[in-house]
Structure 1
Amino acid sequence: MKFVFDLDGTICFKGQPLCKEITQALQYCHQVGHEISFASARPIRDLLPVLPKEMHTYPMIGGNGAFVANGGKVTHLTAFDNKTKKQIEKIIEEFQLSYLIDSAWDYTYTGSTEHPIYRNLDPDQLAKNISIHKINEMIKVVLFPNEHTSKIVSRLKSLQVRTYMHGQENILDISPLGVDKWSGLQKLNVKQQEFIAFGNDANDIPMFQFAKEAVCVGKHEELQKVATLNAESNAGAVADKIRELSKVYAAHLEMNR
């Protein structure tokens, strides 16, 4: 069975690398015969620093599906088309917004260094913070809308984009239309009803809808509607659930041999 894990708030807490409990649970999952993949809003560049080196070659979805990697190499990139790129830049200029924009590797960030998203941004300093005018391929965008949220959301609805609103962080997370975690998993040849998904936020809904089992970590009203299971939002509870499902589906593998 394939197991797919979101990172932040699911198996990775407060931006820190995977803790010992989670790492050991993932190792157990792998040892009993399951394939592990990661699916995050982070670009691949920012996924790697929180994962053990032994897992750097595992299949990965980054940027909510805009980046796909396998065997340690990025295999697919999906950027905004040039027209949409210019429209997003126009919204940024019109509303004087702060932003985080990822290109294929480098990024541009103008938000506060106090914002939670900043602590997850290129922690190993592998890339450069460049000007928005030097971003050739716009892969993923995060906007900090403040009091302009409703107006900006209305404008984004007319563009070829997919938008997730994260109220607690007050950000708008934007990907090209048709790009989500499920579309990314399909590029890794993951089939409907043939994987177990763990997640904690609205951007996990697309993959939850096609999973055999979908584990909502913590409380999220929208996500819980499509989840089949729940786990408390702490490392111990999540590690226990990983081990539990690993055992259950290892038994299924044995029965089908």
Structure 2
Amino acid sequence: MNFVFDIDGTLCFNGKTIDETIIAALKELIAEGHEIIFASARPIRDLIPVLPEQFKKGKLVGGNGCFISQNGKITANFFTPNLTQELHTIIQQHQLTYLADSEWDYAFTGSFEHPIYQNINHSSAKNTPLLELQKICKLVLFKPNSAVIDALSKLPVSITSYKNEDAIDISPLGINKVYGLEKLQIKEFIAFGNDSNDQCLFEKAQFSVCVGTNDVHKYASMTITKEEVAKTIIHLKNNILIKHF
């Protein structure tokens, strides 16, 4: 069976590491022939450092579907040049702070204390002026107001809101985590997630688990606490229903 895992708030709760009990449960899945796919809002650049060594070159979906990595090879989806210019205009008109990701480097103007900035792999990527990035795959806007949302709604983009962080995540239209799984030829899966960007996973999965009580939990098959993640993975691994998917 394919198991798809979000990272932050699902497996990782400090922005840097995954608890050893969860890693042990993941390794049990692999040992019994199941496949693990990680699907995160993080770009591949920031996803890889969190993963145990044996998973770094596995099947990865980053940037909510904007990035796909398999066997260490990354492919990416980009905004068109015209759309990039329209997004830049909105940023300038509303004086927004942001994080823009290219295939590897980034442009950031927000608070250095923000968790998103803290999770960037600064050792291998460079903070580059927005207009100097080669191509932009994904854009996070901080503290957007209703006028910003209205302007974005007129553009061919997908928007995910993060209420707890007062930010929105923007990607090319139709790009989400399920899109990334489809590119990896993953059709049937069990999903673990915790936030609004995991709704598409929950709606598509054969069985889904929400970690925490974010609003998205209503789309999941079950809701658990972060302390229950490892034992839930093992329970599902041992559950005979998995054999019938």
TM-score bracket relative to the smaller structure: over 0.9
CA distance in 2, matches of 1:35, 1:26: 10
Equivalent residues in 2 for 1:126-145, closer than 5 Å:
126-145=124-143
Matching of residue 54 in structure 1 with residue 63 in structure 2 = no
Which stretch has the larger CA shift, 223-232 or 155-164?
223-232
Partner residue in 1 for 2:7: 7
> 2:164 corresponds to which letter in structure 1?
Q
- SS in structure 2 of the partner of residue 225 of structure 1: helix
CA distance in 1, matches of 2:93, 2:242: 56
Q: 1:208 aligns with which of 198, 202, 209?
A: 202
Offset from partner CA, 1:122-164 (integer Å, 9 cap, x none) = 15x111111111112110000112xx52111111100111111
Gaps of at least 5 residues in structure 2 are: none
Give, in angstroms, the shift of residue 115 of structure 1.
1.1
Partner residue in 1 for 2:212: 218
Partner residue in 1 for 2:103: 104
Offset from partner CA, 1:69-88 (integer Å, 9 cap, x none) = 111211x3111111111111
Superposed CA RMSD: 1.4
| Count of residue correspondences | 245
> 1:115 corresponds to which letter in structure 2?
H
- SS in structure 1 of the partner of residue 164 of structure 2: coil
Q: 2:192 aligns with which of 189, 198, 217?
A: 198
Gaps of at least 5 residues in structure 1 are: none
- Following TM superposition, the consecutive aligned residue runs of length 4 or more in structure 1 with deviations greater than 2 angstroms are none
- SS in structure 1 of the partner of residue 159 of structure 2: strand
Offset from partner CA, 1:74-105 (integer Å, 9 cap, x none) = 1x311111111111100111111111000011
Matching of residue 188 in structure 1 with residue 184 in structure 2 = yes
> 2:19 corresponds to which letter in structure 1?
C
TM-score by length of 1: 0.92
- Identical amino acids, percent of aligned pairs: 43
Partner residue in 1 for 2:172: 176
Give, in angstroms, the shift of residue 252 of structure 1.
4.7
Give, in angstroms, the shift of residue 53 of structure 1.
1.0
- SS in structure 1 of the partner of residue 7 of structure 2: coil
- SS in structure 2 of the partner of residue 168 of structure 1: helix
Query: Is contact 2:42–2:63 with CA below 8 Å preserved after alignment?
Result: yes
Q: 2:228 aligns with which of 230, 237, 241?
A: 237
Equivalent residues in 2 for 1:156-167, closer than 5 Å:
156-167=152-163
TM-score by length of 2: 0.96
CA distance in 1, matches of 2:155, 2:242: 45
- SS in structure 1 of the partner of residue 239 of structure 2: helix
CA distance in 2, matches of 1:117, 1:252: 35
